[in-house]
Amino acid sequence: MADEEFQAEVQARIGRAQHDAQQAGERRYAFASEMLDLEPDSDEEAELFARFPGEELAAPFCGCDTCVVREILDAAWEPMFETALALARLEVAGAAGARTEAR
């Protein structure tokens, strides 16, 4: 893969990761904020979980700045980590290809 192609691929993946992380953070914040107003084990709670399938809080959420930041970072971590791992693999594959071409 040429250097320009590699850089374009890296930038595209970073852009997608930023978008995915932002979406995950916004989704988690919406979920957590709505959880504040619910009675435990209510019909509204069941509806909230139905609207946000698979979403869960990293820890108890009171709505303070610390809780908001923790939840957003927790939600954004997975897409950013997956992208970092994919970029590392891409770099390794590129380095292996460069060694093969040099022979």
Please report the pLDDT score of residue 96 as a whole number. 62
pLDDT of residue 101: 60
Residue 9 has pLDDT above 60, yes or no: yes
pLDDT digits (tens, 9 = 90+) for 28-70: 999 999 999 888 888 998 899 999 999 999 999 999 999 999 9
* Predicted TM-score (pTM) of this structure: 0.78
pLDDT tens for residues 18-34?
999 999 999 999 999 99
Total domains present in the chain: 1
Give residue 39's domain range.
3-102
Per DSSP, the residues of 8-43 read: HHHHHHHHHHHHHHHHHHHHHHHHHHHHHTPPTT-H
Q: Is pLDDT larger for residue 44 or for residue 100? A: 44
The DSSP secondary structure of 57-102, one letter per residue, reads -SS---SSHHHHHHHHHHHHHHHHHHHHHHHHHHHHHHHHHHHHHH
